Amino acid sequence: MKNVAVIGAGTMGNGIAHTFAQNGFKVQLIDISEASLKRGMDTIAKNLDRMVAKEKITEAQKDETLGNITTFTSITEGVEYASLVVEAATENVDLKLNIFKQLDEACPDDTILATNTSSISITQIGAVTSRPDMVIGMHFMNPVPIMKLVEIIRGYNTSDDVTNTIMDLSKQLGKVPVEVNDYPGFVANRILMPMLNESIETLYNGVAGVKEIDTVMMLGMAHPMGPLQLADFIGLDVCLSILNVMYEGFKNPKYAPCPLLVNMVRAGKLGVKSGEGFYDYSDNRKAETVAKQFSK
């Protein structure tokens, strides 16, 4: 398995492409937007430059990594020779189901189809394909090149062979794979998102301010970043989408998103990506500080 296609050139997609390419895989990075592909490749190049500056890789390794990535705007062309496809599009059920229908038709019969979804049912995604036994969750953490964990989520029909293959492949990338079962939010977000939502509720109820809440969790619980700042870094729209999936999946009010979160997303205050969330990132240097703090 040396040819890997990645669907989506956003934050997660370019990080996944970077990680595979740096480990010697030929990567086809696919996005419908040329502008998104350019931004994704620029991000990969900047992250590699940082690694060169820190003497973690050489200039030659940087060039080799970039040379391993080819960009496409067509799924049909990009997945033609892929042994594995990792979908990293927006966390939207209908969008993902549509992508997997296209992948099922375009990919070779033996191609494994993985999704980087952080909450959506692998079983549901697999059901729209003719190969549900070859559909699996491969949930990387952000920032992908740095974070070690990969949640490996097997759907109801995912085969043992495919699961074992993806577990082994994750280890080849220098990651630590953890196998979990297919329930809304899996493990990482089933635990993380209610904590972030409760932090937002604490702010909404006037118990304390943004910095005070984050300071309590950083100094009192040894978290490297406060929950409200972490929500900004993840993207408040992403947090809302995941909470909605969990609320719909479990029908349990404890997963209902806080009204403050809903209103902030409606107002376009999405965190680092929009320049404002619980913190103000209108100065790009502030946004970069958040990213660096989380990636230490």
Annotated binding-site ranges: 8-13, 31, 91, 96, 118, 142, 273
Largest pairwise CA distance in the chain: 55
Catalytic residue check, 189: yes
Distance between CA atoms of residues 277 and 236, nearest Å: 8
74 is catalytic: no
Q: Among 36, 151, 197, 244, which one carries the catalytic annotation? A: 151
Q: Is 139 designated active site?
A: yes
Q: Which of 68, 83, 116, 118 is catalytic?
A: 118
d(CA 166, CA 155): 13
Q: List CB contacts of 154: < 8 A, sequence separation 6 or more.
A: 122, 136, 137, 162, 163, 179, 181, 182
| Distances in whole angstroms, Cα of residue 224 to Cα of each of 112, 217, 218, 220, 294 | 35, 9, 6, 11, 7
Q: Do residues 169 and 1 make contact, with C-beta atoms less than 8 angstroms apart?
A: yes
Residue of 170, 189, 241, 244 marked active site: 189
Q: Which residues are annotated as a binding site for NAD(+)?
A: 8-13, 31, 91, 96, 118, 142, 273
Instruction: For residue 116, indicate whether it is catalytic.
Output: no
For the beta carbon of residue 196, count every other beta carbon within 10 angstroms.
22
Give me the active site residues, please. 118, 139, 151, 189
